[in-house]
Chain A
Amino acid sequence: MTTEYDILAIKGNCLNLRFVASNTNGTPIDLTQYVATGFVRLSYSSTGVLLDLQPVVHSSYVSGLIDVTISASGLEDLPITEAIYDIKIYNITGCSAEVVRGHFDIYPAGTV
Chain B
Amino acid sequence: MKIVDIADEIYRELGEPTDVGIPAIAYWLRANVGKLNTAIYKQYFVDEVTLEVMCVDPNDETKFEEISIDEITILKLLYVVHYYDLQIRKNSLSYNTRSAIEVVSDGHTVRMVSPTEIGKNLYMFRKGLGDDLKQWINWYRLSRSTPRQVAGDDTEQGWPYIRPIYRRTYIP
Contact = CB atoms under 8 A, between A and B. Distances in A.
| A and B associate | yes
Interface of A: 8, 42, 79-82, 105-108
A45 to B, nearest CB: 12
Nearest to B51: A79
Contacts of A8: 21
Contacts of B166: none
* Main SS class of interface, B: helix
B7 interface: yes
Contacts, number: 30
Interface stretch (B22-30, B36-44, B71-79): B22-30
Interface of B: 3-4, 7-8, 21-24, 26-27, 30, 51
A81 B53 CA distance: 13
24 contacts: A8-B21, A79-B4, A79-B26, A80-B4, A80-B7, A80-B22, A80-B23, A80-B26, A81-B23, A81-B27, A81-B30, A81-B51, A82-B23, A82-B24, A82-B26, A105-B21, A105-B23, A105-B24, A106-B23, A107-B22, A107-B23, A108-B4, A108-B8, A108-B22
Nearest to B5: A108
Q: Which 8 A/B pairs are nearest by Cβ-Cβ distance?
A: A82-B27, A105-B23, A80-B4, A82-B23, A79-B51, A82-B24, A80-B26, A81-B27
Contacts of B7: 80
Given A81-B30, A81-B51, A105-B24, 12 more contacts: A79-B4, A80-B3, A80-B4, A81-B27, A82-B23, A82-B26, A105-B21, A105-B23, A106-B23, A107-B21, A107-B22, A108-B8
Contacts of A106: 23
Interface centre among A79, A81, A105, A106 (most CB of B within 10 A): A81
Contacts of B30: 81
Nearest to A79: B51
A49 B58 CA distance: 33
Contacts of A105: 21, 23-24
